[in-house]
Amino acid sequence: MSNDREIIINRAVQEIEEEMTVNLGIGMPTMIADKIPASKHVFLHSENGMLGIGPYPISGEEDPDLINAGKETVTAKTGASFFDNAESFAMIRGGHIDLAILGGMEVSEKGDLANWMIPGKMVKGMGGAMDIVQGAQKVVIIMNHVNKHGESKIRTACELPLTGEKVVDRLITDMAVFDFTEKGMVLTEILEGYDLASIQEKTEATFTVDEKLLEKEGSFSW
C-alpha cells in the first residue's frame, strides 16, 4: 500500500464508532476493514447481501462464497447474516446505514460527488453508490487530493457525471480533512508536513478554515 493510501485509511478508520453499521465502498475503502480494532463492535455491510464482514482472509483460507461488493474474498464475523440484494438495498434506502465510506473521483465545494464513471471508459454499471449516498446517515469520501497529473480533485464544480448532489458530509484526502456545512466547505484538519498555503494551492474549490484549526496553526498528526 502506498504511503498516501495508508494515511487516508488510518484517518478514515477514526470515523467508525462503536455499534455503527458501516458500508465500505469498493476500492480503497475496503482496506479499512483490516484497520478496525478487534475490540470495536461494529457491523460492516455490503450491498451484495452481507452484514458482519470481518478482515480479509489469510492466504490459503479464502472462501469463494464470502465476497464483498468489489468481488474480493472476505471473512464473516460470528453472528454475520446473509440476505438477498433487495433486502440489502432496503437497509440502505431505509436509512439503516449509520456511515458510508466511499471512494471519489471528484468532489465539489457544494458537496457534490462524482465516483461512478469516466466518460469513454467501460463501466459495469452504476453499482450501489447512488443509493448509498442518499440513504446513509453520514457519507465520508476518501480520495487523493490531486490526480496523477497533479490537478485538484476537489473542484468548484464536478466535471464528471454526478453520483449525487450535496451528499458529502466529510472529505478525507492525503493532505487534509474538509467538512461540508450550511456555511459551505470548511477545512478542519491539515496533515503534518503541509500548511494552509499548500492546501490552497492544491485545492480548486473555495473553502473557509475552521477557527480551531487556525488556533493550532495547521499542525496535525494522524
d(CA 49, CA 148): 34
Enumerate the active-site residues: 47
Neighbour tally for 161: CB within 10 Å: 14
Alpha helices, H only, the chain: 3-12, 85-93, 129-135, 196-201, 211-215
d(CA 185, CA 171): 10
d(CA 44, CA 54): 8
Nearest to 168 by CA among 120, 127, 132, 217: 132
How far is the first Cα of the chain from the last one, in angstroms, to the nearest whole number? 17
∠ CA 205-107-216, nearest 5°, is: 60
d(CA 6, CA 32): 10
Nearest to 179 by CA among 154, 144, 197: 154
SS3 call for 35: helix
